[in-house]
Structure 1
């Protein structure tokens, strides 16, 4: 099971790098073309779509690496047991919020199948799909972290 998650993590990291490179390249080429009076009219919409996907995927990467904002000064004042309880509480709370985001994101995805992305023929559903995919990945990450937290607690007894 660890091999699967490690492969998923690697794919996610490579996808984030590719998305960022694509955004930078697209914006750069669009700016150059604009200076030659040959604007790429779809560049803004595509760059925004790629950026939304990058945000959702990188939010999961940040969660995996515990890089989200934490009020460490307050958190470190608690005992180790209370820190674990707080961490578990916040994880359960975040799971609830992510589940809501997943459900409503799927509804948004299904309702945007006929809408087009700006001046392109791409369905807006591809933009909307980033929300439930990102929420689903973060749910998987939080559940894994909660199991690790429980396993580490049992190891220290």
Structure 2
């Protein structure tokens, strides 16, 4: 599976969309679970933007000069999940998005859930695209049979 520039661009867009939803849910969770806290909205969303850019930068793990095998894709996906956890957890702790061990576990599970959600959305879009391509190929094939008969 070799990723083209268009595929990487589409995956980056999906990452931004999913990260935006995760960060908005984090914002509201902070308000829900700690309503007494003062959450500066501008700096919070600025950090969320930086968080998203860091997430996008970790996608470099998927870069390959040759087509990835299924095994290679899985290895890179697991490596990407570990890299996200290793980079985002300390950064989130530094920005005081979480404080204690239980918070870390919850935050780590959110990062993993976001990654899984991203792959599910990507998989769904790939199925839809494959279905459309197969339908076009079938129409073209049927058109050639009718024209040749």
More helix by share: 2
TM-score, reference length from structure 2: 0.33
Select the structure with the greater relative contact order (CA < 8 A; seq sep ≥ 6).
2
Q: TM-score, normalised by structure 1?
A: 0.32
